[in-house]
A and B are shown apart, each in its own frame.
Chain A
Amino acid sequence: MAEQTAKRPVSVPLMADLAARGESPEVLFWVGCAGAFDDRYKRVTRAFVRILEHVGVSYAVLGMEESCTGDPAKRAGNEFLFQMQAMTNIATLNGYGIKKVVTACPHCFNTIKNEYPALGGEYEVIHHSTFLQQLINEGRVTAKGGESFKGRRITFHDSCYLGRANNIYEAPREVLEVLDADLLEMKRCKTNGLCCGAGGAQMWKEPEPGKKDVNIERAEEALATLDGDAGVLLNLQGVESTAPVLPAGSNRGGSVIAVACPFCMTMMADGVKNKDREQDVQVFDLAELIASAEGLNA
């Protein structure tokens, strides 16, 4: 777009300020540690806030009152630390009378949705893929007026904590449908999706000795899917279905590996970098794709 888009500053509403005014938001946006601190995923947080602002959802964030959900501690076996974190967060959320939580992190989503209720934290928790799908279905987001993805190749990498952990497979795909791109499925997708390698606290440690890092294995599959590289796809292991569906024509570049998880984002981006393919394949979160298709970046 040649002309300078008009923009307005966003002052992200803090829950403490709303509470002081006696207001309560429709939904609390749980940012998560990656969304708050990881430079790459901060862009996802900002993209998601732009969407919230654009559609006019009443929302708030906890800001500095937010703390780690405890997910990495729990997966690593430190149940004590997990429960300390959980109960602190539950005290904060219950103190504000929070009813509904949306988050862009499948790990936060899974933990708050499934593991907080038994500790006294019961909320309606939705992942941002489901939230975006609802906005699209309601016609509040059309993915028009911004960057066009028409004809570009996109493959979605399932996050374990969204997919197998919580059976959310269709929402992210329906979000991508609206982009009018060429959506390609990896052979290991949905229930059979291959982990990026970061779950279970692997994000914070070196992998055990082996032949290869998991994210390289997954990045190779994603790249072969976008490229239509039959040789690589036929030799994948741990596959249930048989013949891969190959895209017509060659990869024209500008292809996207779509993710819906901060750790998948890091792992897939590292994998693409390792394969020296950053120039023609990018890794984006669903919220970033929607925000730029809707023309919200400013």
Chain B
Amino acid sequence: MHFSIQNILFLLVAVAGFGLFAWQARKIRANILVGRDRDMSGHTSERLWKTLLVAFGQQKMFKRLTPAILHLIVYVGFIVINIEVLEIMVDGLFGTHRFLQFLGPLYSALTGTNEVLGALVVLAVVAFWWRRNVGVVRRFTGPELRAWPKLDANVILYVEVILMVALFLMNSADLKLHQLEGKNLPGAFPISQFLTGLLPDSLTALVVLERVGWWAHIVGILLFLNYLPSSKHFHIIMAFPNVFYSRLVPQGQFSNVDSITHEVKAMMDPSYQVPAPATNPDGSAAAPTPFGAKDVDDLAWTNLLNAYSCTECGRCTSVCPANLTGKLLSPRKIIMDTRDRVEEKYNSPLIFHPSLYGPEAKHTPQEQFDKENHTLLRGYVTPEELWACTTCNACVEACPVNINPLESIIEMRRFLVLEESAAPNSLNVMFSNIENNGAPWAFSPSDRFNWADDLFVAKK
């Protein structure tokens, strides 16, 4: 061990990096919990199994093979290379050098796998960049992917390349240093062994380069960690709780609003006891919660968790029948709006605040922006978007991390209809037909059985 000033410096950097992240994570946790309470307890084994399949196993990614393979490379690379980050942390704190080398052949396997994955990650990232900027996959376009979200997607790719370059710089300098000193470097370096020729032959320069690579890799990771809360890349963490807490019931099942159930039961049965309304801690009656959602705090906390798990891949929007046929609705935009709005109204993480993005980054066209009603509904999401939804569940089915845009859409429709009576007129006609005739069309209930008139069946 060579304990030095570097170790103290590293300790400070690491504490600052993780501390800052914890501070940001607390703000986000608070943001998610402004959502309405919703009991998601129970069914733990079923939820764990689903998390294993969908989040760890990337099950839903494999509906589209090319991006699934590219993503798998980066995902596995991320997990395996993080084992090496563990080593870097220990080396950094205690002045050891490649402390995992006691693993022997296993260490060679680990470092070798790391190098191969590192190279594959670079290739995959280049392919991702191409798909996003040159080949232009349709779902990477759209009005909500301008300004910050567009830049963010590319920043992630650039950072990943920088991190891999740092890893290779560290390994190849270390390898060449050992070769020049006639020593054997533990581990296997199938990629770096070809890179040593690119490095200078001076021992001092190599020592410096190895340190530069080492520091760049670990500081880069800590910076990236603190970038996550402002980025769509946060999905690498949030995907897991989001899948865990996603719905287990059939996709067609919409929630029944409990407060309405009590009212309807009381109407049908006068002896029905409606539960006492909620009270504040001081005993006064709590303000009644509105039906449906006008703003982010009217949504359930799981809907807000959804917003922080979105990686803006656009699979939802790419299969949305309304969006495919040119309507304004884009499920991805509704999820992105939710995250922007919750950060505007409550805590924003340290680095980026939605108001800093500038008006050009707003997902709602300026002319439709309703400044009077600066809430999620109307301030961000227009009724026109909400009414274009066919509730077909294609977006829900398509999301690789089980985000449910449909729930938020229905909650906002409920607010429009039940609090504002602001349904399109044709739907109001349908409602009154149901109320008066028991059918959504204007037919007389007494004609309901006419279909059975003059009915014959062939005798067989």
Identify the A interface with B (CB < 8 A).
5-10, 12, 14, 31, 33, 35-38, 42, 45-46, 49-50, 53-54, 61, 63-64, 66-68, 70, 72-81, 83-85, 87-88, 91, 110, 113-115, 118-119, 145, 160-161, 164-167, 191-195, 197-214, 216-218, 237-238, 240, 294-298
B431 touches A73 (CB 8 A): yes
Q: Which residue of B lies closest to A37 (CB)?
A: B443
- Give me 16 A-to-B residue pairs in the complex whose CB atoms sit less than 8 angstroms apart, sorted by A's number: A31-B448, A42-B451, A68-B438, A78-B423, A83-B256, A83-B260, A84-B267, A85-B434, A110-B250, A165-B251, A195-B321, A195-B390, A208-B322, A212-B325, A217-B321, A295-B460
Chain B residues whose C-beta falls within 8 Å of the C-beta of A50 in the assembled complex:
455, 457-458
Asked if B393 is an interface residue, CB under 8 A from chain A, the answer is: yes
A240 touches B449 (CB 8 A): no
Tier of interface size on chain B: 35 or more
- Could you say which of A36, A160, A166, A298 contacts B456, with CB atoms under 8 Å apart? A298
Of all A-B residue pairs in the complex, the 10 with the closest CB atoms, nearest first, are: A165-B252, A211-B326, A77-B413, A200-B391, A67-B438, A210-B326, A195-B392, A114-B253, A77-B417, A160-B392
A114-B252, A199-B390, A295-B458 known, 10 other contacts, Cβ within 8 Å: A5-B458, A63-B448, A73-B431, A75-B410, A164-B396, A207-B327, A237-B318, A295-B460, A296-B457, A298-B458
A35 CB to closest chain B CB (Å) equals 7
Q: For the complex, give the distance between the alpha carbons of A193 and B393 in Å.
A: 10
A49 touches B455 (CB 8 A): yes
A54 touches B457 (CB 8 A): yes
B250 touches A70 (CB 8 A): no
Question: Beyond A7-B457, A37-B447, A197-B321, is A80–B263 a contact (Cβ under 8 Å)?
Answer: yes
Chain A residues whose C-beta falls within 8 Å of the C-beta of B418 in the assembled complex:
77-80
Chain A residues whose C-beta falls within 8 Å of the C-beta of B319 in the assembled complex:
192, 194, 238
A41 CB to closest chain B CB (Å) equals 9
Number of residue pairs spanning A and B whose beta carbons lie under 8 angstroms apart = 269
Q: For the complex, give the distance between the alpha carbons of A45 and B445 in Å.
A: 17
Which B residues between 60 and 117 are near A, CB-CB below 8 angstroms? 63-64
B449 touches A204 (CB 8 A): no
Q: For the complex, give the distance between the alpha carbons of A49 and B455 in Å.
A: 9
Q: For the complex, give the distance between the alpha carbons of A206 and B321 in Å.
A: 15
A205 touches B457 (CB 8 A): no
Asked if B233 is an interface residue, CB under 8 A from chain A, the answer is: no
B445 touches A76 (CB 8 A): no
Chain B residues whose C-beta falls within 8 Å of the C-beta of A88 in the assembled complex:
268
- Could you say which of B256, B322, B457, B460 contacts A118, with CB atoms under 8 Å apart? B256
Q: For the complex, give the distance between the alpha carbons of A164 and B440 in Å.
A: 24
* Residue among B291, B397, B416 having the largest count of chain A Cβ atoms under 10 Å: B397
B58 CB to closest chain A CB (Å) equals 15
A208 touches B328 (CB 8 A): yes
Chain A residues whose C-beta falls within 8 Å of the C-beta of B390 in the assembled complex:
160, 195, 197-200, 202, 214
Chain B residues whose C-beta falls within 8 Å of the C-beta of A91 in the assembled complex:
268
Chain B residues whose C-beta falls within 8 Å of the C-beta of A207 in the assembled complex:
325, 327, 388
Asked if B6 is an interface residue, CB under 8 A from chain A, the answer is: no
Which B residues between 408 and 460 are near A, CB-CB below 8 angstroms? 410, 412-418, 423-424, 426-427, 429-431, 434-435, 438-441, 443, 445-452, 455-460
Chain A residues whose C-beta falls within 8 Å of the C-beta of B438 in the assembled complex:
33, 66-68, 85
B292 touches A77 (CB 8 A): yes
* Residue among B253, B418, B445, B451 having the largest count of chain A Cβ atoms under 10 Å: B451
Chain A residues whose C-beta falls within 8 Å of the C-beta of B459 in the assembled complex:
5-8, 298
B322 CB to closest chain A CB (Å) equals 7
- Could you say which of A14, A68, A83 contacts B439, with CB atoms under 8 Å apart? A68
Chain A residues whose C-beta falls within 8 Å of the C-beta of B37 in the assembled complex:
none
Q: Which residue of B lies closest to A209 (CB)?
A: B327
B451 touches A199 (CB 8 A): no
Which B residues between 215 and 229 are near A, CB-CB below 8 angstroms? none
Asked if B122 is an interface residue, CB under 8 A from chain A, the answer is: no
B405 CB to closest chain A CB (Å) equals 13
